[in-house]
Structure formats: structure tokens, C-alpha cells
Chain A
Amino acid sequence: MSVIAPKFRLGYFIKALLDNIFWAVVLLTLAGIPAIMILLFYIDLPIIDGQILTPFLAFTWMTHPEMSVPLVKAFMQTDFFRIAAFPGFGFGALLAAGVIFVERKMLAKLQLRVGPFYCGKVEGILQLMSDGIKLLTKEIIIPAKADKPIFWVAPLLFVGTAAAFVSLIPVAPKTVVADIDVGLLAVFAIIGFFPIITVLSSWSANSKYPFIGGIRALHQMISFEIPLILSLLGVVILTGTLNLSEIVESQATYWWIAFLPIGAIVFFIAMLAELERIPFDLPEAESEIVAGWLTEFSGMMYGLVQLGSYLKLYAFAGLFVVLFLGGWQGPMVWPPFPEEIVTEGITMGPVTAQIPGLPLFSQEVLNGTLWFILKTAAVIFFILLPRGVFPRIRIDLLLHVGWYRLIGLSFVNIFIALGLLYAGVLGPEGIL
């Protein structure tokens, strides 16, 4: 007689927990603490208020609010924080997780069903976390005939490229990881990496369906890159700059979507195709080619590709906002920071803490971030909606749309921009 569910015994459970704690403690003392010490030996310690910051001092200051705030502020100025957390990867990944949740619930609502419901008590808000844990714990299966190094590296490259794309998007004034003068060119360069990664990963899997999917992805991405790039040239012509922050600043009074609606529509459609979202999800068409170029990925490799594609979605939506919807520009709605917290400190019971370094973010940054997130959410809604409404398009129709319609329309858009420029309506010396 076989029992499907083994009997649960509290003793075993506690023993397993204690085992885990024991090994964690042992590993931390034997390997972790020496590693931290070695690392600290090589790191240049910052100087704050004329004092070299040692770990001892850092831990001491953590107990004093008036000392810890400058410490946190100093940390927030570091490149590491900017890349990994706020305007970079962490912020993008958080928004991407939100996108996945909203996509599931919205699609479920459109399809008259419930969607994730039980995980996390409130409308399945922790479903993504449980999915992530599931993917992490699953076995990673590599096809026997695969080209293993490339196959292993492809998901990492995909996420890395998506994160590089995220780092170019300005979120608020002076809040961008890489504020470079050729921002838009860098965007084009990074977008150009995606088909290469896709075709490499699909080819290295050495399997039929990924191969067909990779070829389709290559066709689709390359043929839609041209209208994508051309549709943005209108904005570049009118602003005369490639720097994304400057493009945002040029839209203080009016948004470019008001003058270049054709460019915006072309960019939106090309964006859907670049993102491989329905109706352009041919590289992953499940009823024809199983899962396309993702067929052989398993476990967290698949999870990484998904993370990368949602990061890419956020980055494209952010790019749309930056170029056409005025980026962080918007009326000031964020309440000003109460001054008395800085001057008088926070009183909690008998203790009064003086905190001189506040606020951590200026009012402009918070307001800009808020408007940026709101606009991005609106764009993402329109990216998600077609998934519930349209069927998949066919490859010949797709290429027809890309090469004939969209490229033509984007040239029309460029002529409109040039007309506006030479008529003296807009541009560096325009009347508006």
C-alpha cells in the first residue's frame, strides 16, 4: 500500500529547521565572516564628516538617527545603489513584478475569471513570489546535444541586456543611472542585442522548435527595429538632442505626442513586436512551435528570461513616456517636506531624535517619480490590453506590416517633424 501524502511529524520538521540553522551558523562563521573581512580590506571606505567610516563606526552610527541619515544619503549616492536599486535594476524589477500581477488580474477580469486568488490572502498578491520559488527549486535540464556554454549564458545575457536598457531611462530630474549624451543611440544599440541573444540561445539548444522560434524572432525583431528607430527620429529632429533627460526637459509645456501622433503609434506597434507580446508573439507561438525559442529552458533559466522580458517591457514603456508623454513632467502634487522634523526632530515617547540630513529625496524627484510611474502604468495598460483582445498574427502578415506600412508611416512622421521644424513652428528656434 502506497501513501501519497507522507505523514507530517513535528519532530522531523523541527529537526530539519535546527539542522538548517546549525549549518547556516557554521558556514557563516567559517566562510562568511572571513569573506566580509577580506572584502572590507579592499574597499575604499568613505569619509563622512571628516572621519573615515569603519564598520565599527558605521554600526555605532546606526543607533544615532542624526548620524545614520548622512550615512544612508552617502550610500544612496554610490553607483552601486543607483545601478542595483533606485533608478536601475531594483526599481525596474519591482515595477515589472507589479506589471505581472496587474497583467494576471486584469486579464482574468477581462476573461470573467478570478486569476491568482489564494496566495497572499489578498487577491493572490504573493503569487509571483511563490512562482519564483517554484522556478528556483525546479531542476534545470540541459538538452544533451546543446552547446552548453552559450545555452547557460543566454538567459543571463538577456537579463543583463534588459537591465542595461533600464539603466538608460531617466525616472526623475537627475535620477538616471547613465546620463549620457547619446542616450537614444545607446538605446538602439542595446535593442540590437536582443535578436542576437535570442538566435544564439535558440541555435545552441540544438532542437527544432527553438530553432524555428529563434529564426522567427530574428526576422521579427530586425524588421521591426527599422520602423522603431525611424519613428523616434521625429523627436530627435524636433529636440535636436539625443540625451533622454534633455528630451524630457524639452517637453515642459507640451508633449511630443500632440505633434507626432503617427510616430507614437508606429513606435507603440513596433514596441509590441519587439516585446514579443500578443498579437506579435510568433516566436513563442505555442500551438505551432511549442514555446518557440523558450522551449528548452527549464527552471530558473526560464524565470530569468521572463524577468528579462518584463524588465524590457518596463523599459520600453518608460522610453515611450520619456519620448512622447513628457517623462517626469507634471504638476507638483507631492506635499512639501515638513521642516519641523529637521529643525525639531521626531519625538517618540521620552526620546527626541534630531535628524539633520533629511529629506532623503528632494520634492522634485519624488514628484517626478510619481508622474513617471503613473504615465508608465497607463502605457503598460495599453501594452497589456491586446493580449486579451487579439489573436496571434501570421509571419507573412507581420513582415508585411513591418516593412510596408510601418516604415512608410514613420517616413511620413519624419516629414511632419521636418515640416514643423522648417516652418519654424517647433524646434530650437520655434515660435511655440
Chain B
Amino acid sequence: MGTASGIIKALNSGIKHLAVKRFTLRYPEQKLKFVGDGYQYDPTTGVGIAGYKGRHILFHDKCTGCQLCAIACEGVAEAIAMVKVNENWKHNKKAIMPQIDYGKCVFCGLCVDACPFYALYMTNDYELSSFTKEGLIYTPSQLQVKPQVQQDAEIQIDDRGASHG
């Protein structure tokens, strides 16, 4: 009799879940909301600020071309190359800034930890796909742009189960 009651319990559980809310995140229509504006790092305390590790953002007015981010990336992904930029900054005499190849980047954020000048942060932008390999290489001027993201889906929990908004 244990077998029969077990089978009935399993069937009952299956039928009960027909009424539970669907949990799927319908991705292109809904996008998950992240904490903050992306991963940042405070070199004075040596502790990061929680946030999503997406595409980088580079502040040209703070970057000194010190190459610490490229050195930090050396053993990890070797995605960062320093390239010449056509800009004149007093603090960046060599006029070199990081260029990031997202075909190689593993989004560990160690380059952000390495930057002592608050110049390199990460953002919430993760939609980086491209038809070409060249399209994945982001030049300093592309990295400068603050991404436009519309992410507002959050996990909501109520009596009928959890769902994405």
C-alpha cells in the first residue's frame, strides 16, 4: 500500500504545481536588476563595492596610462592592451589607455582592483555580442561611454510561488 500512496502523492504534487507561478525570466523582454552601477573598487581601503561585473567603463580624465590594469591582466586573460589615444591630458603624457578585448576577458575584475586612480570600473552592461572578432575589441573611446541599461526584473515571492516580476 505504501507504493500506491507514494504514487498518488507524487501525482498530487505534480498536479498541484500546475497552479504555481512560472519562474522563467523572459530574457529579451525582461532583464534582471543588479545591485548598484557595477563593480567598483576603493584603493584607499582596499575593498571593493558590490556590483555586477560587466563591461568596463574608463574615465579618461583620471587614467594616467600607468599600465597597472594591463599588468594585472597578464596572468589572467591578457585581454588588456595599452593603445595610443589622440588626446592631451596633463596626467597622461604618453597618451596610452587600456583597450579591452572582450573575446578574452573573463570578467574577474582584477584590473579594477589594480587601478589606483579610480579610472577603471565595471558596469551593468553584459550584452556584448558581435558578429566579428574585431567588434569585441573595445577601444578607449568606446569604453568611455556610459551604458544605457534598462534592467528592472526582480525575483518576487508570494503565496503562489516565486516569479520574475
Contact = CB atoms under 8 A, between A and B. Distances in A.
Per the CB under 8 Å rule, do A and B touch in the complex?
Answer: yes
A385 B15 contact: yes
B100 to A, nearest CB: 20
A56 interface: no
Interface stretch (B21-29, B55-63, B136-144): B21-29
Contact of B14 (A3, A108, A110): A110
Nearest to A388: B14
B17 interface: yes
Nearest to B161: A112
B86 interface: no
A431 interface: no
Interface string B6-23: 010011011101101111
Contacts of B17: 109-112
Contact of A389 (B11, B26, B132, B133): B11
A112 B20 CA distance: 7
Contact of A114 (B13, B18, B20, B26): B26
B22 A3 contact: no
A322 to B, nearest CB: 25
Contacts of A385: 11, 14-15
B13 A109 contact: no
B23 A112 contact: yes
A9 interface: no
Contacts of A110: 14, 17-18
B15 A109 contact: no
B127 interface: no
Interface string A56-87: 00000000000000000000000000000000
Interface in A110-149: 110-114, 117
B158 interface: no
B132 A3 contact: yes
Contact of A113 (B13, B24, B133, B134): B24
Nearest to A279: B7
A409 to B, nearest CB: 13
Nearest to B11: A389
Contacts of B134: 1
A432 interface: no
Given A3-B131, A3-B132, A389 B13 contact: yes
A4 interface: yes
Contact of B22 (A2, A4, A109): A109
Given A3-B132, A389-B11, A113 B18 contact: no
B5 to A, nearest CB: 14
Contacts of A108: 22
Nearest to B15: A385
B14 A389 contact: yes
Contacts, number: 42
Contacts of A13: none
Given A389-B11, A389-B13, A106 B131 contact: no
Contacts of B131: 3-5
B14 A113 contact: no
Nearest to B25: A114
Interface in A25-54: none
B23 A390 contact: no
Contacts of B24: 112-114
A106 B22 CA distance: 12
A390 B10 contact: yes
A385 B7 CA distance: 12
Nearest to B13: A389
Given A3-B132, A5-B131, A385-B15, A112 B21 contact: yes
A113 B10 contact: no
A117 B17 CA distance: 20
A389 B14 CA distance: 6
Nearest to A113: B24
A112 B16 CA distance: 11
A114 B22 contact: yes
Nearest to A381: B15
A5 B135 CA distance: 14
Nearest to A390: B10
Contacts of A1: 132-134
Contacts of B11: 385-386, 389
A398 B34 CA distance: 50
A306 B62 CA distance: 63
B152 to A, nearest CB: 19
B18 A109 contact: yes
B8 to A, nearest CB: 10
A303 B18 CA distance: 29
B111 to A, nearest CB: 28
A349 B17 CA distance: 52
Nearest to B20: A112
Give me the 5 closest cross-chain CB pairs, A-B, nearest first: A389-B14, A112-B23, A114-B24, A389-B10, A113-B24
22 contacts: A3-B131, A3-B132, A5-B131, A106-B18, A109-B17, A109-B18, A110-B17, A112-B17, A112-B21, A112-B22, A112-B24, A113-B22, A113-B23, A114-B22, A114-B24, A114-B26, A385-B11, A385-B14, A386-B11, A388-B14, A389-B14, A390-B10
Given A3-B131, A114-B26, A389-B11, 14 more contacts: A1-B133, A1-B134, A5-B131, A106-B18, A108-B22, A109-B18, A110-B17, A112-B17, A112-B21, A113-B23, A385-B14, A386-B11, A389-B10, A390-B10
